[in-house]
Structure 1
């Protein structure tokens, strides 16, 4: 590959060549800060040298005495006699906007150079203007700026490029008017700008464009990874085919569907998608998965085992197939998962439960299990989100939740469920759950839930968020099975830590002498027992505070007016409650009121929870 640099001044750049915006280029996204930086660069040399020049000197001669200024490079690629910008669109657009405002300012100052400036903005073909910079979808905005329409009347519905051109033009106008107040200063600046400000042209071959594009744009984090990937993918496809198949529009639609600018961070949601998608198809372990991140996928997609799977490197046919099939389907699937997990939906409730616990592994698992246009997509989403929640919950309740175990299981399971039938997925989860339990407990385990491992689980064994989640699921079970509505939403029960309305873990047995005596005054035994799940429940903040050290009899009054699980301790809950009785009969649960709460009652409640656990997380 040979790149021959060609130095040019601004007059030469904008004189006879029409520049088309390449598919590699993002929209015009410069805001005030980079525009101000460019103006600072251009005016720094001018102001430095102009102050030393006698104002009686002719403007053209004065302009020649201003030193030269180098304005970096721009990269082009010529196909079928059309010149495409590979790099430089942001600067070229801003320079065009500067020229337009100089044209208007020259008119106000009665400068004789306005036609010269105007010729740098556009050429003419018959009666038609031909802007040297062809923002083809936004020419009406450029035209409005050129003819001097009021800002409010300039059409900007074509998109962010038009909006930014108008906004930046307002700032540029003020800047130029503040800097160039006299006709001599203005004309001298024009000669300096058009003749002494230089920019180097680099022309590259079509086959080298993706590589050059990445080298130029990947430094300084000026482009996001997905913007670079767009160039590397679309750059392999013939431009006529790109237009015929509308692949640029396809790309933009799917990127916008998944999401861009979701935060102030380096990556957009679409970058997270690519990280997840590649991991779902390639990674068999957490270690392998960590090689593929939202920051580097645009590089590794074309090498090693990722290239072996996707086959996108220098393969225009496969690239077109990928964009029209996998890219569309899996971006839609990813977006659907995001939407479904964002709020409670009874049909896909487990996605929401995963989100409550900040679990994201279902993205990898579901994308792995689904194939293009998967007819079992709905079923796979439901099965995987349930099994994922089940593993997470069982490991906690069996005192087997160790560092990174969920992350490790996501990838070992993911690779095994890749594009398999929905009916086979649960078996894979079960096998790996039993294997994990066996390794952690160091004994062969054949059943996922064992009461011996559950019997001592309590407050100090579980994260507070999980304890609240656990009791919210118990609450949901009772409400649903008893044909009732939840009294509080999940988000309030699990996440709200507020003093007044937030829910907190409550000890049924307050730390007082009466309760301590029920455990033979053994402080150690008492603390261990009262912390077990059977001795805990959820209570709203202000109620929790007020009932803190009350006797059990007084607490019962509060429980009767609170959540269903709490209210089952009070006898009034059972009066004419046919639905609750039906729940008990249907599942063989011995739920009962308890006027006294001691060691035996605590054990009974703990065993009752164990039964419910086995119903919810079969």
Structure 2
């Protein structure tokens, strides 16, 4: 069994006797103002309470490095890094005082290497991307936060994510000390307590044992999230000389998510439900964020993932799913190219709904044409559920189960059979559910107003309606991008800010019909080019009609006048579903609301794949 050493250190003893290395495979610095403030407040409370007792901050888990007194930090680097930044802030605040020299020796010092050469080194050296450069610059400058940040930027050092966290933490610490310890005597007392009374237990053992201890300490996610724990779990299944390789692969997971500001745990949860059959005691096929790590270490699930014997293969599977996840969230298809159907999904879902990524990831290996068809049907399904305000929890279990079915369809090699199975899925899972909610959707649309949903969804609704009418008018079958429609202005036919005479006229002509309600109804809304909207302004309907006729979008121009061409032209066919108006009163708004609601069932519907 590996030798395990325990030693109690004060902050001064630790940084005087030890060199701490944060290896590049470890979690980066993630503490925010909240965690930094909490640590500083805890120490401050002890000092204000006149305590002379030791203040225990927990355990630090390390593994001895090749050089004497050098240790790789396995667990505890968030605290050690914060204390190192605290020493840097204290050094500057004690400028010209005896304490400056003492603290300086705890921040960086020289030592003799095995060749007898003198080497200079920081007492805490983070080796993940650019962190060492940031830390060296901070120590070299020995300045207050604003000048430090400016110098880092001037040096062209990249700062985002964990690197930005380091700079922010230094500023937070520096300002905290300035605000709470303005007098030098108070600051000296603070330093005295920190140096001698703040203590931790340092556990030191070989790297393999340290990683296993780390897993045991954190197996319930205490202080770490499941993404960090999974990373550590994988490191326990590779050889030491493969750490760098695994670290580089792992960055292909975390960096893209970080740059896109995507939540890693949300992705990991969707990844599991999209790629594996989920079974639990609740029988709901759902993995919650706080259950992710427990799911991975379950023996049956571990065998499913096979990360113990094929860790790199497992990681590459996650990487591919990250690539798809980022692509989908950026409006791209499973071929990595811009995809107008995925763009439509983004406009519908916005940032408020993301559960559909479970289905998209499960279907990501479909042939492109089949995948694109699936996206279109998913859009229709989600429209129905989102516009009836169905709670997400009602879909969560279904999506996890449906993902199993989609993976099975993706695995079918015969193209004809694959299409047939997808058609069965679309009928059973999408179409039947839409039909079951059709009455509810129809009722909601009849009462729909500008305030019923987020404005971006109302804009999406109007854009799709306008595009559909344009396509029907021109006899087109394949839709283009919604971009040209979503940049149009939402016009209130009954003005949003009317002249007093117009409001009075409507109120007198439509007793019992509140103006402020009718002006926001879907039937009163349309899309209009900005220049025309400016001219139309808040005028009476008869005046506005002259401007509506100039609009190039038929859903709007038809309000003023229907165009008739031939006998059975595409224009005449769409006219049968539209109506022009001579007057604009409550009855006209209600009629147009009904008209638009009827169009919805023609637009958002499930269509089968053509099977030869």
CA distance in 1, matches of 2:352, 2:279: 21
CA distance in 2, matches of 1:393, 1:121: 60
Q: Is 1:14 matched with 2:12?
A: no
CA distance in 2, matches of 1:223, 1:260: 21
Taking a change above 3 Å as real, the CA distance of residues 303 and 386 of structure 1, as seen in their structure-2 partners, is same
Taking a change above 3 Å as real, the CA distance of residues 227 and 116 of structure 1, as seen in their structure-2 partners, is closer
Deviation at 1:306, TM superposition (A): 3.2
Taking a change above 3 Å as real, the CA distance of residues 134 and 140 of structure 1, as seen in their structure-2 partners, is same
The equivalent of 2:376 in structure 1 is 386
- Aligned-residue RMSD, C-alpha: 5.8
CA distance in 2, matches of 1:455, 1:115: 72
CA distance in 2, matches of 1:205, 1:167: 33
Deviation at 1:540, TM superposition (A): 6.3
CA distance in 2, matches of 1:437, 1:368: 16
Greater relative contact order (Cα < 8 A, sep 6+) = 2
After superposition, where does 1:299-318 map in structure 2 within 5 Å?
299-303=294-298, 305-312=300-307, 315=308, 317-318=309-310
CA distance in 1, matches of 2:141, 2:471: 65
CA distance in 2, matches of 1:614, 1:46: 65
Deviation at 1:145, TM superposition (A): 4.1
After superposition, where does 1:165-244 map in structure 2 within 5 Å?
165-169=166-170, 172=173, 175=177, 178=181, 181=184, 186=188, 193-203=194-204, 206-207=207-208, 209-210=210-211, 212-213=213-214, 216=217, 222-243=223-244
CA distance in 2, matches of 1:615, 1:606: 15
Q: Is 1:565 matched with 2:563?
A: no
After superposition, where does 1:118-133 map in structure 2 within 5 Å?
118=105, 121-125=108-112, 126-133=117-124
Structure 1: stretches of 5+ with no match in the other structure: 51-65, 263-267, 442-447, 502-509, 515-534
Does the CA-based 8 Å contact 1:74-1:199 persist in structure 2? yes
Taking a change above 3 Å as real, the CA distance of residues 565 and 284 of structure 1, as seen in their structure-2 partners, is farther
Segment of structure 1 superposing worse, 14-23 or 280-289: 280-289
Deviations 1:298-349 (A, max 9, x none): 331232553232122xx1x4111222x2122110101110010799954645
The equivalent of 2:289 in structure 1 is 294
CA distance in 1, matches of 2:256, 2:120: 36
Does the CA-based 8 Å contact 1:49-1:67 persist in structure 2? no
After superposition, where does 1:171-570 map in structure 2 within 5 Å?
172=173, 175=177, 178=181, 181=184, 186=188, 193-203=194-204, 206-207=207-208, 209-210=210-211, 212-213=213-214, 216=217, 222-243=223-244, 245=245, 247-259=246-258, 262=261, 269-283=263-277, 291-303=286-298, 305-312=300-307, 315=308, 317-323=309-315, 325-340=316-331, 346=340, 348-352=342-346, 354-355=348-349, 360-371=354-365, 376=367, 378-392=368-382, 410-418=399-407, 419-420=410-411, 427-435=420-428, 459-460=445-446, 472-481=463-472, 482=474, 489-490=485-486, 500=496, 538-539=525-526, 560=549, 564-565=554-555, 567-568=557-558
Deviations 1:94-131 (A, max 9, x none): 333344455556661246x8358615643323342122
TM-score normalised per structure 2: 0.67
The equivalent of 1:62 in structure 2 is none
Q: Give 1 or 2 for the bigger CA radius of gyration.
A: 1
Does the CA-based 8 Å contact 1:475-1:564 persist in structure 2? yes
SS at match of 1:489: helix
Taking a change above 3 Å as real, the CA distance of residues 301 and 260 of structure 1, as seen in their structure-2 partners, is farther
Deviation at 1:292, TM superposition (A): 0.7
CA distance in 2, matches of 1:105, 1:434: 70
Does the CA-based 8 Å contact 1:472-1:490 persist in structure 2? yes
Deviation at 1:271, TM superposition (A): 1.3
Structure 2: stretches of 5+ with no match in the other structure: 498-505, 511-521
Deviation at 1:367, TM superposition (A): 1.2
Deviations 1:460-497 (A, max 9, x none): 48896699866643421232352799897248789999
Does the CA-based 8 Å contact 2:348-2:460 persist in structure 1? no
CA distance in 1, matches of 2:386, 2:274: 25
SS at match of 2:184: coil
Does the CA-based 8 Å contact 1:16-1:132 persist in structure 2? no
CA distance in 1, matches of 2:469, 2:88: 70
CA distance in 1, matches of 2:441, 2:7: 79
SS at match of 1:70: strand
CA distance in 1, matches of 2:238, 2:287: 25
TM-score normalised per structure 1: 0.66
Deviation at 1:427, TM superposition (A): 3.8
SS at match of 1:296: helix
Does the CA-based 8 Å contact 1:99-1:121 persist in structure 2? no
Candidates 41, 56, 74, aligned match of 1:86: 74
CA distance in 2, matches of 1:253, 1:403: 30
Does the CA-based 8 Å contact 1:7-1:201 persist in structure 2? yes
